[in-house]
Amino acid sequence: MLSKKEIKNIQLLKQKKYRNTFNLFVVEGKKSVLEFINNSVFEMVKIYHTTTFEKPIENAVILSDSELKKISFLTTHQQVLGVFKKKVFSFENSNGLSIALDTVQDPGNLGTIIRLCDWFGVTQLICSNNTVDCFNPKVVQATMGSLNRVKVIYTDLHSFLKESKKPIYAAIMDGKNVYQTKLNSNAILVLGNEANGISKENLELVTDSIAIPRFGNLQQTESLNVATATAILLSEFRRS
């Protein structure tokens, strides 16, 4: 049986301030939980799963469906929930492409971008301090385990870009056609906020601006979703 205190403490992890206070976060779903256990990047604190869970986990707390529902952050729980310790990563200078996010706010976008970085072999994702928390339950859910393989680093983005010796590409609407641009694979690609794009102060530091052209006859689409744009641009960087 779960105590009221245990239920409350897990539910508090929905909020960033309590994730920071306890230094913990929640993972849900069979695939994600097993990836977090098997990769050992984040220390496991406790696992909870239902009596009908198909792959029993050693030392897990066994719960009824109704009990797991009390601690699940999902509308429909996925039979297993894990609590893990957060980990802070620092940037490592290395050759290759890094992605930098300037104030990306939507958890689904960040989770998808982390998963894209994993797919395209980008090992470091640099986030401005006001980008959504990568340990937000919705972000963790969207990464589908990729959070284990991509270092998400929060920093003063302006200072980071200013100190970088690599070419800095900015994804903006009036940049050069990415399909006609020779791309340097040892670089930083900056993507901006869903509504406001990249901040003016960070734009002043970029060395190249690129854009994904519109091909529709009317060309009335205002912009691409930031995660969609990331997928297209990463594909072009890898193709180059």
pLDDT surpassing 80 at residue 185 = yes
How confident is the model at residue 220, as a pLDDT? 62
CB atoms within 10 A of CB 226: 22
Show the domain range for 55.
4-85
| Mean pLDDT across 224-239 | 96
Do residues 109 and 224 share a domain? yes
Model pTM? Answer: 0.94
Calculate what percentage of the chain has a pLDDT beyond 70.
98
Do residues 105 and 203 share a domain? yes
Do residues 43 and 126 share a domain? no
**Residue 92 in domain:** no
Do residues 119 and 53 share a domain? no
Q: ∠ CA(110), CA(231), CA(219), 5° rounding?
A: 105
How confident is the model at residue 129, as a pLDDT? 97
Do residues 111 and 227 share a domain? yes
Domain count for the chain, please give it.
2
pLDDT surpassing 80 at residue 222 = no
Do residues 74 and 108 share a domain? no
Do residues 120 and 195 share a domain? yes
- CATH code assigned at 9: 3.30.1330.30
How confident is the model at residue 219, as a pLDDT? 65
Residue 40 pLDDT class (50, 70, 90 cuts)? confident
The residue that leads in pLDDT, 215 or 147, is 147
3-state secondary structure 99-123: EEEECCCCHHHHHHHHHHHHHCCCC
CB atoms within 10 A of CB 26: 23
pLDDT surpassing 90 at residue 56 = no
Do residues 119 and 71 share a domain? no
Q: What is the end-to-end Cα distance of the chain in Å, rounded?
A: 56
- CATH code assigned at 106: 3.40.1280.10
Do residues 108 and 40 share a domain? no
pLDDT surpassing 90 at residue 207 = yes
**Residue 90 in domain:** no
**Residue 91 in domain:** no
pLDDT surpassing 90 at residue 194 = yes
Do residues 215 and 147 share a domain? yes
